[in-house]
Structure 1
């Protein structure tokens, strides 16, 4: 798959225009996705120097992207009449997703096993015993 990944708020904490702290397991997960054969595109609002800083940050953590803010590495605005910032990706990973950003372990599991978020939540809920009726929140927390 071709996967487009946002930077601010997704790979690092949202501190734009600064670079926030790395979100736990983000870069480990990206490396596993690459090892599984997926093409990764960095998809960010950043441009110019700020984008260069983000790319360098990722590179320092061992992640090289297939392309950056484009569909393929050699795509150029001026040379392509049909150039669009809208990417042709199979999947987008972004903190602005409806429902927010799952943790990176969950993201990897969803991609690896082609699971929807709903399927994953249903699976987790089936593993947890339902709270006993009649107990309040504190009673459930302090069994």
Structure 2
């Protein structure tokens, strides 16, 4: 699958223009890639709006991106500027579960996301059982 992944409020807390705090996304994202799926960063950050900081977060967390704001192969079947993906993980997606945060806007609940990815066969039960999401409640 090609999975579109937002950054602020999804991979980290909302602290734009800075990179926010860890919310438990990194290991889940590494496992998604390990399982053969491709991540496409789908963000409002652009070259002039701190994109490099987000890309550095992925690099520091050893998460391989397939594309940034575009699916590298979509030019074969469309000239649309909208990135093509099979699934999107974004803090503004309808139905996504969020964790309240005392100091910032709510962010994606990665425990809930991991459970949905398990249901779809994107992650394994063994992978999901290793995740530690307890730190989320302290943000």
State the TM-score, normalizing by the size of structure 1: 0.68
Rg comparison, structure with higher value = 1
Unaligned regions of 5+ residues in structure 2, if any?
99-108, 122-139
Conserved in 2, the CA contact under 8 Å of 1:94 and 1:101? no
Secondary structure of the residue aligned to 1:48 is coil
- Residue 32 of structure 1 aligns with which residue? 31
Which is bigger in relative contact order (C-alpha 8 A, separation at least 6)? 2
Gaps of 5+ in 1: 76-80, 116-143
Per the TM alignment, residue 110 of structure 1 is displaced from its structure 2 partner at its CA by 1.2
* 2:108 is the counterpart of 1:111: no
Match of 2:93 in 1: 97
- Alignment of structure 1 residues 1-143 onto 2, 5 Å: 1-23=1-23, 25-48=24-47, 50-72=50-72, 82-84=79-81, 86-102=82-98, 103-114=109-120
Paired with 1:62 and 1:45, the residues of 2 have a C-alpha distance of 22
Q: How many residues align?
A: 109
- After TM superposition, the runs of 4+ consecutive aligned structure 1 residues lying more than 4 A away are none
